[in-house]
Chain A
């Protein structure tokens, strides 16, 4: 009988007005990888905050029993002392500092008044090796990629003598390759006896690494599924628990959509990096999209997908542009501002909704109307009634869950924020929508709703360019797929001919070619 390392018993946590957790029970055995899944707002983060002491003892009901003792953590330091370490979704590293400095931030080595740098870097290097990083700990964090930064976060956790490691969406900003490496690292740690909890939306990862899967829904534990059998638990099985119903098809069917003429075409499109002017971020790309068509652009992170979309969108990224842009067969001279692209009825739904998509400090209403203010104003005086009506209309249309359209967008959940972002661009009434990672970091239910919106847009004769790093999504949603790598489009495929395998093969082949050159 394996030892129970952590037991959370009948945890109830209330916030003013909402019960975030209702009698949650959660058990983790020593030496296992336990996945915690659930839709956004199901209570995963709250549960982990109770565990780590961010919600201090006394602010919740129930017991946290760790290593046989009832814990009364009042702050994160208390739980870290016991070896419970959380790695948060957003990387908390300081780019200007070295890896070593970052790893021992708040946990400085040496005497109280004098940091022992030799010891710091020596120890840091030791942990970096454990996570498989070859970089020296004296390298500045800004000089390494996101995937490696995630590994530094893990090394940092190890340096705190972690016994129970909690990873919150560790792969959300990683590409497939780095994600896989990270998951393998977790499996490796497990062999060495480490206990881990992983919170993730990516169910294929759950099936791959987890020994047990606990599903939370609406603040309550629904079930714990054992994944140690001979056959992996299917994603459909997990989804059923998460949404409480069987999602027979993760991608809604698009039926009766007639694909029309070519609406937009680019030829020999080349864009250079804004700072390193000699570097090409988009290299001689030619592509087209037809009315009513959903075109997927797949590529690993850094392949140049975002750069391509942004450069089409009124030269919003890059420098030294060349190539031609045709709309409905006519060559267009694109202006230098996003507003010029909007005038040409092109929309770009940004990848990073918090960073450059939404104004979080403003209301749903203000965000919805932002890209097309002139439509609700008369000689630049905003018609408050019209604006309100528009916001309400899109709130209904996209099923945005918010108490009112006056609610600040920052207070909404990720999925609803994404819908507000879509609402903004739908209200701009574009003919061509470029959606950059439209379902990143949102739960299964909201994803499905967004796919439905994409289908409606296509049915209305709009062109949709879907940029995504999730292969199943690209395969499930597109009519045609362009595969990008190293700033180039390396292949165009019809969806019928495309599989996960031949797409990855194409990318690997292009990498090999690149290496040989």
Chain B
């Protein structure tokens, strides 16, 4: 949204950049969207290392399915971080507890999929309300309030599973439930062309190009400065290419995963909320200066409350996708989810002290980590080393980000 209006400095820069060569333009764009470029570089790196393995259609489906929970919980975590670098440590353990409860409903009690979804959502809302109240109205520091949940829920979830199953695992999660979160739209066999998926890709690409061009036209009509038409075309072209590639690969891999629909739906919704609505604006100003926000009439407590309520709701949805994928509720699910979500935000460039960062930043961060994970498992890197690599990537991303911002100044 920030680039809707071109500023006079941008104008000046632009007229300068027109006379610059392509190298300078690329460098400028690299500084602006550093993480996007790193994403591409890392992808090419693994493309070579896996001898094309990461380009297989199964890899694309895997990338989406493996990271569904990161995108969903990451969105919730982003909203918490925006309010001032606050985090939720309890989400991973809550996934374990809620998964265990979901397992009991569906596997042991035979509750239908629809009712189970509602029940799990209700439990999530209850937890979110309690957490939000503790943080916003009792003023418990978020990391302490959620640390309690982190410790308690994992223990509670595990003990529920142990008491109800000899193997500490409840399965199978019924297929009607799984179809909602881990199914495919009009499934086909792998390797066959899934036309609905491919057509959806074309439609999506067309919609995006239309939106970009109509927006540009509107700006021209209103007399605002716009970027050169060439730049717009290049952007459209790259966007279409990426979407069509992804959707073709997914089409060859058996169709659109329902998990992708959840991710896209949530990401687009929250992108709209954060960039276009008053409540989204309130999240940013609370994180930027909570006292100024309060004295400007923003209900700061309500924002904190919503952040954590929202977090619990999104965590509940993530839980459903996770137990659908693993087909069971066990005590390992949800392990380190809080760290994955925080990493996605931080690697994407979301400020650890609040007030800045977008949903799309988080998506880029999550995708980058997802590609690294997938690439490492494709080359069968030892799990311990995978952890080492991830640690360094996290650090490198932040160091790089800070250094490049410093240079900008």
Q: Decide whether A and B are members of one complex.
A: yes
A residues sitting closer than 8 Å to B (CB atoms) are 313-314, 316, 337-339, 341-342, 348, 350, 355-362, 366, 370-371, 373-374, 377, 380-382, 384-385, 388, 403-407, 424
Given contacts A338-B297, A366-B284, contact A361 B356 (CB under 8 A): yes
Given contacts A388-B5, A403-B7, contact A373 B292 (CB under 8 A): no
Note all chain A residues with C-beta closer than 8 A to B295.
313, 316, 338, 348, 350, 356-357
Note all chain A residues with C-beta closer than 8 A to B166.
none
In the assembly, what is the distance between CA of A388 and CA of B285, in Å?
A: 17
* Contact in complex: A356, B292 (CB < 8 Å): yes
Mark out the residues of chain B between 245 and 295 whose CB falls within 8 Å of any chain A CB in the assembled complex: 276-279, 281, 284-285, 288-289, 291-295
In the assembly, what is the distance between CA of A337 and CA of B296, in Å?
A: 10
B138 at the interface (CB under 8 A from A): no
* Contact in complex: A339, B292 (CB < 8 Å): no
Mark out the residues of chain B between 85 and 131 whose CB falls within 8 Å of any chain A CB in the assembled complex: none
Mark out the residues of chain B between 286 and 310 whose CB falls within 8 Å of any chain A CB in the assembled complex: 288-289, 291-299
B388 at the interface (CB under 8 A from A): no
Q: 26 interchain pairs (CB within 8 A)?
A: A338-B294, A338-B295, A338-B296, A339-B298, A350-B295, A355-B291, A357-B295, A359-B288, A359-B289, A359-B292, A359-B293, A360-B288, A360-B289, A361-B288, A361-B289, A366-B281, A370-B293, A380-B277, A382-B276, A382-B277, A382-B278, A385-B222, A403-B7, A403-B8, A404-B8, A407-B7
* Closest chain B CB from A429 CB (angstroms): 13
In the assembly, what is the distance between CA of A385 and CA of B215, in Å?
A: 12
B1 at the interface (CB under 8 A from A): yes
Given contacts A356-B289, A358-B289, A384-B1, contact A371 B277 (CB under 8 A): no
* Contact in complex: B278, A358 (CB < 8 Å): no
B21 at the interface (CB under 8 A from A): no
In the assembly, what is the distance between CA of A407 and CA of B222, in Å?
A: 21
Given contacts A348-B295, A350-B295, 5 further A-B contacts (CB under 8 A): A316-B295, A338-B298, A361-B289, A385-B222, A403-B9
B4 at the interface (CB under 8 A from A): yes
* Contact in complex: A339, B297 (CB < 8 Å): yes
Given contacts A361-B355, A362-B355, A371-B296, contact A380 B278 (CB under 8 A): yes
B15 at the interface (CB under 8 A from A): no
* Contact in complex: A370, B296 (CB < 8 Å): yes
* Closest chain A CB from B125 CB (angstroms): 21
B2 at the interface (CB under 8 A from A): yes
* Contact in complex: B299, A337 (CB < 8 Å): yes
* Contact in complex: A370, B294 (CB < 8 Å): no
Q: Which residue of A lies closest to B272 (CB)?
A: A381
Note all chain A residues with C-beta closer than 8 A to B294.
316, 338, 356
Q: Which of B277, B295, B356 has the most CB of A within 10 A?
A: B295
In the assembly, what is the distance between CA of A342 and CA of B298, in Å?
A: 11
* Contact in complex: B289, A377 (CB < 8 Å): no
Note all chain B residues with C-beta closer than 8 A to A357.
292, 295
* Contact in complex: B7, A381 (CB < 8 Å): no
Note all chain A residues with C-beta closer than 8 A to B4.
384, 388
Note all chain B residues with C-beta closer than 8 A to A360.
288-289
Q: Which residue of B lies closest to A406 (CB)?
A: B7
Note all chain B residues with C-beta closer than 8 A to A381.
276-278
* Contact in complex: A373, B5 (CB < 8 Å): no
Q: Which residue of B lies closest to A372 (CB)?
A: B297
Note all chain B residues with C-beta closer than 8 A to A377.
277-278
* Contact in complex: B285, A359 (CB < 8 Å): yes
* Contact in complex: A382, B291 (CB < 8 Å): no
Q: Which residue of A lies closest to B409 (CB)?
A: A16
* Closest chain A CB from B212 CB (angstroms): 16
Note all chain A residues with C-beta closer than 8 A to B278.
373-374, 377, 380-382
In the assembly, what is the distance between CA of A380 and CA of B278, in Å?
A: 5
Note all chain B residues with C-beta closer than 8 A to A407.
7, 9
Q: Which residue of B lies closest to A16 (CB)?
A: B409
Q: Which residue of B lies closest to A340 (CB)?
A: B297
In the assembly, what is the distance between CA of A316 and CA of B293, in Å?
A: 12
Q: Which of B288, B291, B355 has the most CB of A within 10 A?
A: B288
Q: Which residue of B lies closest to A310 (CB)?
A: B295
In the assembly, what is the distance between CA of A348 and CA of B277, in Å?
A: 25
* Contact in complex: A404, B276 (CB < 8 Å): no
In the assembly, what is the distance between CA of A385 and CA of B4, in Å?
A: 9
In the assembly, what is the distance between CA of A338 and CA of B294, in Å?
A: 7
